Amino acid sequence: MQAVQREIAEQLKVQPPFKDQADLEAEVARRVAFIQQCLLNSGLKTLVLGISGGVDSLTAGLLAQRAIRELRASSGDQGYRFIAVRLPYDVQFDEHEAQASMDFIEPDERHTVNIGPAVKSLANEVAAFEGHQAVTRDFVLGNTKARMRMVAQYTIAGAAHGLVIGTDHAAEAVMGFFTKFGDGACDLAPLSGLVKNQVRAIARYFGAPESLVEKIPTADLEDLSPGKPDEASHGVTYAEIDAFLHGQPVREEAFKIICNTYNKTHHKRVMPFAP
């Protein structure tokens, strides 16, 4: 079991557990520098990130804002900007937590794009939905929401001459728990290789409220299952996923679920197939 865990962890470039506070701080500094280098390499000065209210976008936003502030301070160029975007589907049930994340991050700019009208308009034009059950339509449109959110972010980034930040990390990557060409599409992924408890640890390092750090993770994409916890979709807990990725013992059933899901979602983690 450990050999399989080790192989998957290597493929996902999983970072080892933080040994102490100094180790955590060094990792934060490394990732902030990574964001800065991506921006400098691109010749652009703006970062764009959708803020959902969950700890992943909160942590990515905190890293991005620090990167931008440091770039402004070191270069004297006030043109560097971080744009945080709210992307609700009409009215989001946990909007207060999304706004709390925004308030704590203190981005340079706040934008809001309601994706509801665009998603509904597209759904009304899709004849392929005819004859399908409501649950199938709901699941498909959940992925459409994720893709529409990324369309909005790239539209803003195009207008602002910037890069789009993604929030994928190792605990989501191993489960393929992202929408292909939706939240899985981005220009840089500063949380890559971290497990869930490391993402939370970084948010705590920045002093984020515990209510946001420990908020129950949910993609909240399905109208028929609003606020459905990620772990209910996974069939395993994030604690088990983290343990798996760090080579620690897990239940046999959890091991099977994670491995099977990882294999089934391989296509999400690679470039499009080509001859």
Name the residues annotated as catalytic: 56, 172
Are the C-beta atoms of residues 195 and 74 closer than 8 Å to each other?
Answer: no
Phi-psi domain of 207 (left: phi exceeds 0; alpha: psi -120 through 50; beta: other): left
Q: How many C-alpha atoms does 203 have within 13 Å on its Cβ side?
A: 28
d(CA 83, CA 157): 9
3-state secondary structure 122-153: HHHHCHHHCCCCHHHHHHHHHHHHHHHHHHHH
Q: For 112, phi and psi rounded to 5 degrees?
A: -130, 130
d(CA 85, CA 37): 22
Burial 159-184 (b: 16+ CB within 10 A, else e): ebebbbbbbbbbbbbbbbbbbbebbb
Are the C-beta atoms of residues 84 and 110 closer than 8 Å to each other?
Answer: yes
49: closest CA among 34, 33, 29, 65? 65
Are the C-beta atoms of residues 46 and 83 closer than 8 Å to each other?
Answer: yes
Neighbours of 190 (CB within 10 A): 26
Which residue do the tokens 């703006």 mark?
Answer: 46
